[in-house]
Homo-oligomer: A and B are copies of this chain.
């Protein structure tokens, strides 16, 4: 479900502003990053593995907001109301190039540790072809699209590079 632009008073019609109005806060991108790169699909995984120690009420609020905005869907596991699984929508998957730039700029200017920098570097160096592969992987994982290639996924490659380094 896409957000109806008539639902909210928009500060302006500038597309940069519209993105910031929706995602310009301290946590929305972080929650999406953990689902997208971390493969965390459940509330408890997102809460307990949070590097940035997100608070439970903030996590719940952002998940709800992202669902309302059409970036996430939520499906209950049969018989387990608490075991809902969150999925990225196409709208969220198409944030991959924006995440690449968030990581590239942070790596260049904000001195992350070597271990945390390696994934951003691999993504940046991989260029549009790698980003498209990553988006395809996410469509398989989250939208049920057929897998079109063999071998490790982009997320698995990034995690392997991360695990090889120790801070």
Interface residues of A (CB under 8 A from B): 2-3, 5, 11-22, 24-27, 29-30, 33, 51-53, 70, 91, 94-95, 97-113, 115-117, 120, 167
Contacts and interface: CB of A to CB of B under 8 A. Distances in A.
A61 to B, nearest CB: 15
Looking at chain A's contact residues, the main secondary structure is helix
A120 B105 CA distance: 20
A127 B117 CA distance: 25
22 contacts: A3-B110, A5-B111, A13-B112, A13-B113, A14-B33, A15-B105, A15-B106, A15-B116, A15-B117, A16-B99, A16-B102, A17-B30, A17-B52, A18-B106, A20-B29, A22-B110, A24-B27, A91-B109, A95-B105, A97-B104, A98-B102, A98-B104
Contacts of A51: 11-12, 14, 17
B101 A101 contact: yes
Contacts of A17: 30, 33, 51-52, 106
A18 B53 contact: no
